[in-house]
């Protein structure tokens, strides 16, 4: 199977001013594309040659895992964003968030703290378990919650290439601004 970079569902400049077109050109156009190219070069002649991305993420390790998981994580991240302002969680998801964190604002504060404190590069995730219980987890590098048997609902990419052009070393500012772009319909549909 040959993997390709998925077309974004929005124009490359439509996430401005939160994420600039220049960041999209590097983050999506260069970093994300490199993971796709790398994985395609790595899987030929392996047990993963004809596997889908989920299978590769769940069953591989080393460079194959790193590149497959980074493709998966980036696809998920970019498709969790929208230029449409005013998106809100569904009632069902909002009730689950309130049950776990008391309020949407408390959830965002906890998520922001998790994302800001990922050491080095990685991801902050809102996930649910098989019973529907929500939690926030942090993953380093290419880490993906599916390897823990969890279902991803939302992620913030906190690798420097996701924000450095626009925010330099101000990761907390990037995280706080990113909430304006969350596609809560997509997140709610996953729940």
Of 69, 187, 186, 174, which Cα lies nearest the Cα of 134? 187
pLDDT at 86 over 90: no
**Ordered structural domains, the chain, with CATH:** 21-78 (1.10.287.990), 91-190 (3.55.40.20)
Averaged pLDDT for residues 88-109: 97
The 10s digit of each residue's pLDDT in 34-57 is 999 999 999 999 999 999 999 999
In the sheet with 122-128, reading across from the earlier edge strand, the strands are 134-140, 122-128, 151-157
As a dihedral over the C-alpha atoms of residue 80, residue 84, residue 87, residue 90, rounded to 10 degrees, the angle is: -60
Instruction: Give the pLDDT confidence of 138-183 residue by residue, as tens digits.
Output: 999 999 999 999 999 999 999 999 999 999 999 999 999 999 999 9
pLDDT score recorded for residue 107: 98
Instruction: Categorize the per-residue pLDDT at 85 as very low, low, confident or very high, splitting at 50, 70 and 90.
Output: confident
Reported as a pLDDT band with limits 50, 70 and 90, residue 6 is very high
What is the pTM for the complete model shown?
0.95
**Bridge-partner residues for 135, per DSSP?**
127
- Structure letter (DSSP) for residue 86: T
pLDDT averaged over the chain? Answer: 96
């Amino acid at each position: 199977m040959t993997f390709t970079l998925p077309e974004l569902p929005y124009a490359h400049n439509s996430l401005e001013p939160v994420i600039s077109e220049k960041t999209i050109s590097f983050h999506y156009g260069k970093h994300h594309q490199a993971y796709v190219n790398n994985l395609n070069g790595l899987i030929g002649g392996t047990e993963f040659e004809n596997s889908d991305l989920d299978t590769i993420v769940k069953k591989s390790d080393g460079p194959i895992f790193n590149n497959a998981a980074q493709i998966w994580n980036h696809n998920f991240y970019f498709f969790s964003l929208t230029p449409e302002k005013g998106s809100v969680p569904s009632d069902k998801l909002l009730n689950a968030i309130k049950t776990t964190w008391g309020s949407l604002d408390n959830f965002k504060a906890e998520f922001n703290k998790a994302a800001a404190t990922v050491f080095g590069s990685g991801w902050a995730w809102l996930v649910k378990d098989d019973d529907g219980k929500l939690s926030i987890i942090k993953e380093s590098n290419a880490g993906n919650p599916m390897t823990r048997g969890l279902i991803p609902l939302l992620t913030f990419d906190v690798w420097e290439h996701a924000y450095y052009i626009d925010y330099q070393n101000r990761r907390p500012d990037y995280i706080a601004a990113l909430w304006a772009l969350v596609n809560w319909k997509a997140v709610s549909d996953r729940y």
